[in-house]
Amino acid sequence: MFGSSLPARFAHFADHIAGVAVLGQGKTDHAVVKKVGGLWLLLVLALSACGTVRPSLEGQASFDLGLTLFNQGKFQEAIPYFQRATAESPNFAEAYLYLGRSQLSIRRWREAIQPLRTAYRLAPEETKQEVFNILMDALVAAALDGFGQASSAKGFP
């Protein structure tokens, strides 16, 4: 009935639903069968599309709250949300990236290195360079900070 215009996996289902809906009413009009089947198919396709537009990701709510705070410049307050997002979803590269960026923004160079390393490891190829550059900034800042602490401990200004 619908097989020529629909993917095979949906055509049989639509035919079955249309037939059940119309035959249950005691009608056998093929035009009605097509209309009912078409409506059911649209419903099925719409519902299946809802699940594929953006997959639900554990940790997304925590990440979104952290990102809101990060974008407001509230880096310290954002950190627990990014930490929660990474705990809820250990493969959430962007959460690790923003956790590291938050640490950098409040001058916690050493604390920023581990989440940035994880973000680099998990990042897709097209974003690895950006993550790498931020990681290098953290490493250099940590080294310079360590050098500055060592110099002041020895009495150098």
Look at residue 21 and tell me whether its pLDDT is greater than 70.
no
Across the range 86-97, mean pLDDT stands at 96
Across the range 115-130, mean pLDDT stands at 95
- State residue 45's pLDDT score: 44
Q: How far is CA 99 from CA 65, 96, 121, in A?
A: 12, 5, 15
- Interatomic CA distance for residues 89 and 42, integer angstroms: 34
Q: How confident is the model at residue 31 (pLDDT cuts 50, 70, 90)?
A: low
Tokens of 40: 């059911």
Across the range 67-76, mean pLDDT stands at 98
Task: Give the three-state DSSP class for 28.
Answer: coil
Burial label, 102 (beta-carbon count in 10 A; 0-12, 13-18, 19+): buried
